[in-house]
């Protein structure tokens, strides 16, 4: 649907990551102007080749996030009215081995970063009196537990993103800002660890994923851009799994 | 794309059929009301007028989805009219009696289950059989409700029917995934439809308030501050039946302006 996002100003955090970059590509393809945020400056400058403007930013740092959102508004000629919170890290550790430092590191990016970027974007939009849409990348790991690949800090951060999304939806609906979450399942990106053991991974796809395959970053991006578009004009606070049926339970 | 939309003579169903047609689908509009023929004619004329051309088809069929023989026959006729079926949208539904359980007759309870739940089952069974035979995948969207996710005093039959639709759909998604057929539920909130206005008239009469007061009460309860429209639902249907939702199955998508988070 070319033009569905024409005139929209989009900010994508974690913009150099697989899902963030796929979201940026789709937003650009549908007519939006896009700014990419990422803390990895090298990956960011490579990613910016798709036609988006890069802004280096550590999403954990409130001052850096505020400065980046202001810088993005300058690059976009106005405050961003689409925010995709895609910055995230994934770590594996059984609960008994999980250190408080590791816990804090994951929560700082995945949950605190989503809060900081969402708050900065919404504050600018509300000040300008304009509507907008936020799409937060959560995970099916925020909905179900997994003993085989233990990551309580990641799972808790992603469940936290769902609660945060609902609160954004409730508080900012009167300002015309919608907030929704996408929960990717097993998606074919460098972050995925499930296929490190190809035989075990293939067995899981056969038995644990009704559609029997990995999803693609492009399929996640398609859901994200749908939620940001006017086709989703009456959706807010919703959780949308993109998981091949894993949570069809 | 070849699509069947039930309950398509008016309201949400008409809006869904219109959107799918504008997106390029051949559409069969199904309804228990004979008005569906005129609705299909208007849609066909509108799409042709908008430059749809391409020989696109919009056909109206009259059938009661809760009737086993009639619903199966309607799917057969639909397949004959548009050459197969890739998309089924089960939108046909009734509101139920607005009475407490202790004051609801068995006939009234059964009627809402028959149309909303059994009708959805019958249409899914017939259309999924065709889709499996075609071997080219497909997508089913069933209309649940936010009132299949939360209870309402006076709405037990309706709520039970819509909760049933969601779990019927989840089960169907698991069964049909190996055939490349996806199945999802949309759960609308308070929509600007005749069914909802009827409900508000009933509430006004029961509570000694006016219809307009009831409308304002509902709007005030919705974070986005308004009723949903057919266009709001049609946009979500268009996404769910498209390749853009190719990895989405067995889900319930709430389209409710923020009144319920799921």
Give the residue on A whose Cα is nearest the Cα of B169: A248
**Cα–Cα distance for residue pair A127/B147, rounded to 1 Å:** 36
**Cα–Cα distance for residue pair B115/B109, rounded to 1 Å:** 11
**Cα–Cα distance for residue pair A240/B240, rounded to 1 Å:** 11
Contacts B236 to A, Cβ<8 Å: 231-232, 235
Q: Is residue B244 part of a domain?
A: yes
B251–A210 C-beta distance less than 8 A: no
- φ and ψ at B255, to 5 degrees? -125, 80
Respond yes or no: is residue A154 known to be catalytic: yes
- Which pLDDT band holds residue B56 (cuts at 50, 70, 90)? confident
Give the residue on B whose Cα is nearest the Cα of A233: B232
Residue B248: the pLDDT is 98
Residues B58 and B40 sit within 8 Å (Cβ to Cβ): yes
Q: Mean per-residue pLDDT for B71-78?
A: 98
Give me the number of domains chain B comprises.
2
Q: In what order do the strands lie in the sheet with A82-85?
A: A53-56, A33-38, A9-13, A82-85, A132-137, A177-184, A239-242
Q: Is the pLDDT of residue B59 over 80?
A: yes
Strand duo A177-184 + B2-6: pairing: unpaired
**Cα–Cα distance for residue pair A17/A224, rounded to 1 Å:** 15
A232–B249 C-beta distance less than 8 A: no
B225–A173 C-beta distance less than 8 A: yes
**SS3 labels along B5-71:** EECCCCHHHHHHHHHHHHCCCEEEEEECCCHHHHHHHHHHHHHHHCCCCCCCCEEEEECCCCCHHHH
B256 in reach of chain A (CB within 8 A): yes
A9-240: CATH homologous superfamily?
Answer: NAD(P)-binding Rossmann-like Domain (3.40.50.720)
Residue A1: the pLDDT is 61
- Which pLDDT band holds residue B49 (cuts at 50, 70, 90)? confident
Residue B51: the pLDDT is 64
Q: Which of A178, A239, A244 sits opposite B247 (nearest CB)?
A: A244
B210 and B132 co-located in one domain: no
Q: Mean per-residue pLDDT for B217-236?
A: 96
B215 and B234 co-located in one domain: no
B222 and B171 co-located in one domain: no
B200 and B249 co-located in one domain: no
Q: Is residue B129 part of a domain?
A: yes
Give the residue on B whose Cα is nearest the Cα of A164: B261
B244–A245 C-beta distance less than 8 A: no
Residue A246: the pLDDT is 96
**Contacts across the A-B interface (CB distance below 8 Å):** 112
Contacts B238 to A, Cβ<8 Å: 231
**Could you tell me which of B113, B114, B68, B86 has the C-alpha nearest to residue B26?**
B86
For chain A, which residues score pLDDT lower than 70?
1-2, 249
* Cα A31–Cα A34–Cα A135 angle in degrees, nearest 5: 95
Chain B closest CA to A35's CA: distance in Å?
Answer: 23
Residues B75 and B30 sit within 8 Å (Cβ to Cβ): no
Q: Mean per-residue pLDDT for B205-209?
A: 92
**Cα–Cα distance for residue pair B48/B55, rounded to 1 Å:** 8
- φ and ψ at B227, to 5 degrees? -75, 155
B217 and B103 co-located in one domain: no
Q: Where are the domains of chain A?
A: 9-240
CA B239 from chain center: how many Å? 15
Give the residue on B whose Cα is nearest the Cα of A183: B248
**SS3 labels along chain A:** CCCCCCCCEEEEECCCCHHHHHHHHHHHHCCCEEEEEECCHHHHHHHHHHCCEEEECCCCCHHHHHHHHHHHHHHHCCCCCEEEECCCCCCCECHHHCCHHHHHHHHHHHHHHHHHHHHHHHHHHHHHCCCEEEEEECCHHHCCCCCCCCEHHHHHHHHHHHHHHHHHHHHHHHHCEEEEEEEECCECCCCCCHHHCHHHHHHHHHHHCCCCCCECHHHHHHHHHHHHCHHHCCCCCCEEEECCCCCCC
Residue A249: the pLDDT is 67
B262–A245 C-beta distance less than 8 A: no
Interface test with B, best of A180, A245, A247 (most B CBs within 10 A): A245
A238–B251 C-beta distance less than 8 A: no
**Cα–Cα distance for residue pair B27/B43, rounded to 1 Å:** 9
Q: Which residues pair with B61 in a beta bridge?
A: B30
Q: Is residue B262 part of a domain?
A: no
A210–B249 C-beta distance less than 8 A: yes
Contacts A169 to B, Cβ<8 Å: 223, 258, 261
B81 and B37 co-located in one domain: yes
Q: Is residue B247 part of a domain?
A: yes
B15-41 per-position pLDDT tens digit: 999 999 999 999 999 999 999 999 999
pTM: 0.94
Q: Which domain holds residue B31?
A: 2-189+229-254
A170–B258 C-beta distance less than 8 A: yes
B22 and B79 co-located in one domain: yes
B123-171 per-position pLDDT tens digit: 999 999 999 999 999 999 999 999 999 999 999 999 999 999 999 999 9
Query: Tokens for B21?
Result: 């047609």
- Give the C-alpha distances (Å, rounded to integers) separating B107 from A144, B68, B92, B113: 40, 18, 19, 10
**Cα–Cα distance for residue pair A247/B245, rounded to 1 Å:** 15
A248–B253 C-beta distance less than 8 A: no
- The residues on A that touch B, with CB distances below 8 Å, are 166, 169-170, 173-174, 176, 178, 185, 210-212, 215-216, 219-220, 222-223, 226, 229-245, 247-249
B135 and B156 co-located in one domain: yes
A248–B223 C-beta distance less than 8 A: no
B125 and B146 co-located in one domain: yes
Q: Which residue has the higher pLDDT, B49 or B203?
A: B203
Q: Is residue B113 part of a domain?
A: yes
B99 in reach of chain A (CB within 8 A): no
**Cα–Cα distance for residue pair A33/A5, rounded to 1 Å:** 9
B154 and B222 co-located in one domain: no
Contacts A245 to B, Cβ<8 Å: 173-174, 177, 249-250
Contacts A212 to B, Cβ<8 Å: 177-178
B93 and B201 co-located in one domain: no
B33 and B10 co-located in one domain: yes
């Amino acid at each position: 649907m070319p033009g569905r996002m024409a005139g929209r100003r989009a900010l994508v955090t974690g913009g150099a990551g697989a899902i963030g970059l796929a979201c940026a590509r789709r937003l650009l393809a549908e007519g939006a102007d896009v700014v990419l945020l990422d803390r990895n400056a090298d990956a960011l400058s490579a990613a910016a080749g798709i036609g988006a403007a890069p802004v280096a930013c550590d999403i954990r740092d409130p001052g850096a996030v505020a400065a980046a959102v202001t810088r993005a508004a300058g690059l976009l000629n106005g405050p961003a009215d689409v925010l995709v919170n895609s910055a995230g890290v994934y770590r594996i550790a059984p609960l008994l081995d999980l250190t408080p430092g590791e816990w804090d590191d994951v929560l700082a990016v995945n949950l605190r970063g989503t809060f900081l970027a969402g708050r900065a974007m919404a504050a600018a939009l509300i000040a300008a009196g304009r509507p907008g849409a936020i799409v937060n990348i959560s995970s099916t790991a925020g909905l179900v537990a997994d003993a085989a690949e233990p990551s309580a800090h990641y799972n808790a951060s992603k469940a936290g993103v769902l609660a945060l999304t609902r609160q954004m939806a409730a508080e900012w609906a009167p300002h015309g800002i919608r907030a929704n979450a996408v929960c990717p399942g097993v998606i074919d990106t460098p972050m995925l660890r499930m296929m490190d053991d190809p035989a075990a991974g293939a067995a899981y796809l056969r038995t644990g994923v009704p559609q029997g395959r990995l999803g693609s970053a492009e399929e996640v991006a398609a859901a994200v851009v749908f939620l940001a578009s006017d086709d989703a004009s009456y959706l807010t606070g919703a959780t949308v799994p993109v998981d091949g049926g894993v949570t069809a339970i | 794309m070849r699509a069947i939309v039930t309950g398509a003579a008016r309201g949400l169903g008409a809006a869904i059929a219109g959107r799918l047609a504008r997106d390029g689908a051949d559409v069969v509009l199904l309804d228990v009301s004979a008005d569906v023929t005129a609705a299909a004619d208007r849609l066909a004329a509108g799409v042709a007028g908008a430059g749809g051309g391409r020989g696109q088809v919009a056909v109206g069929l009259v059938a009661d989805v809760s009737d086993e023989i009639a619903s199966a026959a309607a799917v057969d006729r639909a397949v004959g009219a548009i050459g197969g079926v890739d998309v089924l949208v089960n939108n046909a539904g009734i509101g139920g009696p607005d009475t407490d359980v202790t004051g609801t007759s068995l006939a009234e309870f059964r009627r809402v289950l028959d149309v909303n739940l059994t009708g959805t089952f019958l249409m899914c069974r017939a259309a999924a059989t065709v889709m499996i035979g075609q071997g080219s995948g497909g997508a089913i969207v069933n209309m649940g409700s936010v009132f299949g996710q939360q209870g309402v005093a006076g709405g037990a039959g309706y709520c039970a029917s819509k909760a049933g639709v969601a779990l019927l759909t989840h089960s169907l998604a698991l069964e049909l995934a190996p055939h490349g057929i996806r199945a999802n539920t949309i759960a609308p909130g308070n929509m600007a439809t005749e069914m909802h206005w009827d409900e508000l008239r009933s509430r006004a009469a029961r509570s000694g308030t006016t219809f307009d007061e009831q409308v304002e009460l509902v709007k005030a309860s919705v974070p986005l501050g308004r009723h949903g429209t057919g266009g709001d639902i049609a946009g979500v249907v268009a996404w769910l039946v498209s390749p853009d939702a190719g990895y989405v199955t067995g889900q319930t998508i709430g389209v409710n302006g923020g009144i319920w988070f799921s």
